A and B are shown apart, each in its own frame.
Chain A
Amino acid sequence: MKLNRRFLLRGTCQGALAVMGLPFLDCFLNSKGQAQTNGRPLPTRFNTFFWGCGLTASLWIPKTAGTDYEMTVQLKPLEPWRKKLNVFSGLRVPLDSKPNGQHWSGLAAAITGIAPSRTGEFESRTIDQQVAEVIGKGVRFRSVSAASSGDPKQSYSSLGGSNLLPSEPTPLSLYTRLFGPGFQDPTKGDWKPDPRILMQKSVLSAVAEDRRRVMRNLGPGDRARMDQYFTSVRQVEQQMEAELQRPSIEAKVSIPEPPSKDLVANNAWPNLQVITPLMARLGAIALATDQTRVFNLSVSAPQNQMFVPGDPLGFHQSTHEEPVDPKLGYQPRVAKYNLESMELFAAFLKELDAIREGGGTLLDHSVVMAFTDQAYARIHSVDGLPILVAGGASGRLKTGHHIVGDNSPVSRVGLTLQKALGVSVDNWGKESLQVRTPYTELLA
């Protein structure tokens, strides 16, 4: 089978071939047009979207605050979702005595609320892991990350330190993790627990029982690493527990056919345009079938290597080497890459919004935090870091606003989102990034 978007479009719906579009979507719904959840309320999901090298301030920041702002050039791709979107401008990223680590400090501050001491390291768990601990319990995967440029290291999800939870680097690897071995197909009526999972679970218990022995004679650094190892063991145990449960959504979901071969995933813009929506759709189906409640999608490294064929420089290098056009007042080629990044974000939102569930869509029952590493990549500045948030958190987050900077630190967004997602947290972040007051006007 030739692999293109079509491979995801096929699946079975009540035994018949379903094609993505309305008939496919109907498979998610019961006769009343509701997603089938065994009478339980739909879960709220959390997603992140990362792109590197930021946007161009004069082209993305709306002129007015509130809901009636005039759409800007660089946010234009997001126009279809403006009512479901919050735009945060003018956020500060105070680093106190920490260095401004190029292409790192800004993103780390946004997702941990802590200015990092060292590039490449997080000083706490990232926000997706903090949220996953609360909303992701009992589902198969605590979180799933994917990188559409083909590099598993492009992940912004961590339990702390320099360990990053690797991203699935291709559509095939993402498919296999989600819908390969261990996946309980909710379309099958004769579900029963797989006894082999019980055995494997007993194996994990035996591994976990060795914790105390392993921890002996270790220095503090190695102890922290082994602690993370055993946390990981515990999460895989929980994954098996989830696999022993009847899948919680009994919707006659159309699970896509496995792709027969993989696609080239790299930094070339034409490939990103194909891979990003594919990965977004796989993630969306995983969320809809409750395989996970936290999905992270990244489209680049912080030093964004995206390039349009024929451009010898690419995005990141352009931010440093392209002169500011004196008439326009900005770097025109960089601006184009900015816009393309927003098109990829739009592709993600499109997939989330295409799946209907409950009275709305998957996007309505989600929060998507889009973040980046630099406010102005040319000079590596972080103040004014753009943050875009989509999705209504099942009605707990008001949307449609442009929130203009009032000197708030960037961590205020993270605190607000955690509140909307039901994370019990009074304050978030450290030093000047520590915040206690969420954007209460956005919380419903």
Chain B
Amino acid sequence: MRLSLQKPIHRALPPRIAALLAIMPALWGTAAALAAPPSGRSWVVSLRRLTEQEYRNSIADIFGKEIEVRGAFEPTFRSSGLAAVSTASLSVTPVGFESFNKMADDIAGQVTAEKYRSKLPCAPRDPKAPDDACATKIISHYGRLLFRRPLTAAELDNRVGLSRRIAEQTNDFYAGLRYSLSVLLQLPDFIFRSEVAIPSADGRGGTLDSWSRATRLSFLMWNTTPDAELLRAAESGELNTPEGLAKQVDRLMASPRLDAGMRAFFDDMLQLDTLDTVSKDSLLYPKWGSGMADSAREETLRTVISLALHENRDIRDLMTTRETWIDRRLAVLYRVPFPFTSDWVKYEFPPDSGRSGLLTQISMLAMFSHPGRSSPTKRGVALLDIFLCSPTPQPPNNVDFSVVNDPKSPLKTLRERLMAHATNQVCASCHTRSDPVGLALEDFDTIGGYRTTENGVPIDVSASIQGHSFSGAQGLGQYIHDDPQYPACVARKLYSYSRGVKNSYVSDFSAAYKDFQNSGFRLRTLLRTMALNDSFYAAAPPGPSTSTAKEVALK
């Protein structure tokens, strides 16, 4: 098939290229040379497509920050509240692969370019000729880093063979190297992070092999590929001992790079990527300019990381704190003076500002609103899902919302109009849950600005959920702060995020949760206990339809 497609091309080609093409089939290796996976009795538990940030961080860590990653990444989507979950079900589309292919070629080109060569593990005896020894050294070095496991002998042979043949044809060692590295960069072994299980000691299920443990820990803690030390610990088997594991977990957690890992988690959990596609009506809200969304995202991430990691405080304070981080853009929107000491400064809202933690940050208020109007329902539905792991079902198909927006209605404020839902039983079951949450935030408009009236009528921000009455954002913040479901939801989502499974499937976080609770809800305690617990690495046994090498070979 492949050869027949190439025939017409042969005729059109200069002889030298045609000759090169003719030897290509020989370069592709034989079926017999294809490697078995690293371990005999093993099965793949999950394959997660790298996110854009994971890919970028991996390349920067493996090849250095000077290597540019130029290209577009396929979007992810949110499943069970987290984009991380969708990475375990997404594949690579032709458009996505086209991009991965170009990026791989571009990266490999940069790595083999003149100015980078001194960083490679070795130099060939003659740059105009193949050098198997040096190629082997380089390919096995980068192969191990890219695949997060050593290459098998057969994999290495194949890549070195390709390298040699292209080097022979082009009289250029680095051309051969470039294309071999490019192959590694676009194989699923790099683009997806695979978690491989081996039978557990009790024989009843599986446990992650040491390479997969290193991968899971590294992406969770640092949002990047395992570093040399972690790979060493995987290779030596240390990661499968309690002491070795604890040593690595503590090392990862002591590093400032933990910020990057937790930023990625909260960015996903708080759905901050929604800001990428938020449009605001520039006629009604001219203050919402370009760059506002990025600043709002950064404000929220800085607040979370500073409070939960740097100050190691109770994460429930995220609901009530009046401390935040602002830049000049946000200062304008918040109508507070901005001291010009640096780009970002810590700021504490006054007690009468009505502000309460993340709930009243511009990001959360703007993401879950309409372009020109706040939406108590959208806010309520989103906050219940994000902070209490309590998603709201879709409204019935034939529901009539028009009373909410009837201009002739005697109901002046959104609250009065929304309350009309309560008269309809079908609506009431959900709206009595979601609307109070959103109504308590009605002092804030669609871009997060503070207000106290709507259509000339003072806004009533009192609310009541399951018998608890409170008022305004600060009342809501305290309510969520005190609801044990909130810290439990953070723990559940951290589990879900770290493993790429739906949070409703997470059932084994109770041990970690207990420590979390006893510590006064310190994120570091949650992370550490989770990462040290055996159950964190447990895997279900392979399904009956998991393919074997034999079946696949027959296909």
A245 / chain B contacts, CB cutoff of 8 Å? 8-9, 12
Bits for B19-47, please: 1 = Cβ < 8 Å to A, else 0.
Answer: 01100100111010011110000111011
Interface residues of B in 117-133 (CB under 8 A from A): none
Q: With an 8 A cutoff between CB atoms, is A311 at the interface?
A: yes
Q: Mark A189-226, 1 if CB is under 8 A from B, else 0.
A: 00011010011101111110110111111111111111
Q: Does any Cβ of B come within 8 Å of A12's Cβ?
A: no
Annotate B352-374 by CB proximity to A: 1 below 8 A, 0 otherwise: 00000000000000000011110
Q: Does B394 contact A (CB under 8 A)?
A: yes
Return A442 CB to nearest CB of chain B, in Å. Answer: 31
Residue pair B402, A322 in contact (C-beta under 8 Å): yes
A215 touches B281 (CB 8 A): no
The interface residues of chain B lying within 8 Å CB-to-CB of A226 are: 47, 91, 188
Q: Are B93 and A321 in touch, CB under 8 angstroms?
A: no
Nearest A residue to B154 via CB reads A213
- Chain A residues near B31: list those with CB within 8 A: 212
A376-395 residues at the B interface, CB under 8 angstroms: 378-381
Tell which of A102, A142, A268, A380 touches B94, judged by Cβ atoms closer than 8 Å.
A142
Q: When chains A and B are docked, how far (Å) is the Cα of A226 from the Cα of B187?
A: 11
> Does B465 sit at the interface, judged by CB under 8 A?
no
Which residues of chain A come closer than 8 Å to B537, judged between CB atoms? none
Nearest to B108 among chain A residues (CB) is A203
Comparing A71-79, A235-243, A400-408, A418-426, the segment that makes contact with chain B is A235-243
B284 within 8 A of A: yes
| B95 at interface, CB cutoff 8 A | yes
Query: B335 in the interface, Cβ–Cβ < 8 Å?
Result: no
| A313–B372 CB distance below 8 A | yes
Distance in Å: Cβ of B555 to nearest Cβ of chain A: 8
Residue in B6, B8, B95, B279 whose CB lies within 8 Å of A305: B279
B116 interfacial by beta-carbon distance below 8 Å: no
* Whole-angstrom CA separation of A159 from B102 in the bound complex: 21
Return the CB mask of A293-318 against B: 1 if under 8 Å, else 0.
00000000000010101111110010
Chain A residues whose CB sits within 8 angstroms of the CB of B179 once the complex forms: 199-200, 202-203
Binds B, one of A15-23, A146-154, A337-345: A146-154
A87 at the interface (CB under 8 A from B): no
Q: Is A228 part of the binding interface, using a Cβ–Cβ cutoff of 8 Å? A: yes
Known contacts being A221-B89, A312-B284, is A153 close to B77, with CB within 8 Å?
yes
Interface mask (B274-295 → A, CB under 8 Å = 1, otherwise 0): 0001010111100000000000
Let me know if A312 and B371 touch, CB within 8 A: yes
Total contacting residues, chain B, CB less than 8 A:
89
CB distance from B148 to the nearest CB of A (A): 15
B113 within 8 A of A: no
A267 at the interface (CB under 8 A from B): yes
CB neighbors of A among B159-204 (8 A): 159, 162, 166, 175, 179, 182-183, 186-189, 196
Please tell me if the beta carbons of A166 and B93 are within 8 angstroms of each other in the complex: yes
Is B17 an interface residue, CB under 8 A from the partner? yes
Question: CB-CB contacts of A81-116 with B at 8 A, as 1s and 0s?
Answer: 000000000000000000010100000000000000
**Restricting to A120-174, which residues have a CB under 8 Å from any CB of B?**
120, 142-143, 145, 150-153, 158-159, 161-166, 173
Stretch at the interface among B426-434, B467-475, B486-494, B546-554: B546-554
Do the beta carbons of A239 and B98 come within 8 Å of each other? Answer: yes
Q: Is the CB of A166 within 8 A of B96?
A: yes
Instruction: Determine whether B74 belongs to the interface, using a CB cutoff of 8 Å to chain A.
Output: yes
Q: A203-B186, A205-B2, A380-B398 are in contact. Are A220 and B545 (CB under 8 A)?
A: yes
How far, in Å, is A153 (CB) from chain B's closest CB? 5
Assembly CA distance A158 to B75 (angstroms): 13
* Chain A residues in 8 Å Cβ range of B548: 216-217
Give Cα distance in the complex from A379 to B43, angstroms: 47
In the assembled complex, the Cα of A239 lies from the Cα of B97 at a distance in Å of: 12
Query: B72 to A173, Cβ gap below 8 A?
Result: yes
Residue tally, chain A, CB below 8 Å to B: 82
Tell me which of B34, B86, B166 contacts A209 (CB under 8 A): B34
Decide yes or no whether B90 CB sits under 8 A from chain A: yes
Query: Which residues from chain B contact A205 at a C-beta distance below 8 Å?
Result: 2, 24, 27-28
Q: What's the Cα separation between A224 and B17 when bound, in Å?
A: 36
* Complex: chain B residue closest to A317, CB-CB: B370
Interface string of B291-332 (1 = CB under 8 A from A): 000000000000000000000000000000000000000000
Q: Given A162-B86, A206-B28, A311-B372, do A152 and B37 touch, yes or no (CB 8 Å)?
A: no
* Alpha-carbon gap, A224 to B546, bound state (A): 12
CB distance from A262 to the nearest CB of B (A): 12
- The answer to whether B5 has its CB under 8 Å from any CB of chain A is yes
B422-456 CB mask vs A (1 if < 8 Å, else 0) is: 00000000000000000000000010000000000
Q: Decide yes or no: A223 and B547 within 8 Å by CB, A203-B182, A214-B188, A312-B371 being known contacts.
A: yes
Residue of A nearest to B33 (CB): A209
* A100 CA to B31 CA, complexed, in Å: 47
The reply on A336 being an interface residue by CB < 8 A is no
B397 at the interface (CB under 8 A from A): yes
Within 8 Å CB of B17, what residues of A? 193, 195, 198
Task: Given A212-B552, A321-B402, decide whether A244 and B34 contact each other with a Cβ distance below 8 A.
Answer: no
Q: Which residue in A204, A312, A379 is a CB contact (below 8 Å) of B281?
A: A312
Contact partners of A213 in chain B: CB under 8 A: 34-37
Which residues on the A side are within 8 Å of B29 (C-beta)? 206, 209
Query: Contact: B372 with A204, CB < 8 Å?
Result: no
Contacts of A372 in B (CB 8 A): none
Decide if A354 is an interface residue (CB 8 Å cutoff).
no
A266 to B93, CA, bound (A): 24
Complex contact B90–A166 (CB within 8 A): no
- On chain B, the residues within 8 Å of A166 by CB distance are 72, 74-75, 93, 95-96
The CA-CA distance from A231 to B8 in the complex, in Å, is: 23
Q: Are B37 and A217 in contact (CB under 8 A)?
A: yes
**A221 to B105 alpha-carbon distance, docked (Å):** 29
Given A162-B77, A232-B96, A311-B372: A206 touches B9 (CB 8 Å cut-off)? no
Output the nearest chain B residue to A228 by Cβ-Cβ distance. B91
Q: Which chain B positions have C-beta within 8 A of A142?
A: 94
A158 to B95, CA, bound (A): 11
Q: A231 and B94: CB pair below 8 A? A: yes
Closest to A323 in B: B402
The complex places the Cα of A321 from the Cα of B375 at a distance, in Å, of 12
Contacts of B401 in A (CB 8 A): 320-321
Q: Among residues 31 to 65 in chain B, which have CB atoms less than 8 Å away from a CB atom of chain A? A: 31, 34-37, 42-44, 46-47
Are A206's CB and B158's CB within 8 A?
Answer: yes
A221 partner residues in chain B, CB cutoff 8 A: 89
Interface hits, B237-293 → A, CB 8 Å:
277, 279, 281-284
Question: CB within 8 Å of A: which residues of B?
Answer: 2, 5-6, 8-9, 12-14, 17, 20-21, 24, 27-29, 31, 34-37, 42-44, 46-47, 72, 74-75, 77, 86, 89-98, 101-102, 104-105, 158-159, 162, 166, 175, 179, 182-183, 186-189, 196, 277, 279, 281-284, 370-373, 394, 397-406, 446, 542-543, 545-549, 552-553, 555
Q: A212-B34, A309-B281 are in contact. List 6 more A-B contacts (CB 8 A).
A: A195-B17, A217-B44, A232-B94, A239-B98, A244-B9, A314-B372
Subset of 5 A-B contacts with CB under 8 Å: A166-B72, A215-B552, A218-B546, A222-B44, A236-B98
**7 nearest CB pairs, A to B:** A312-B372, A321-B405, A312-B373, A232-B97, A323-B402, A380-B397, A228-B91
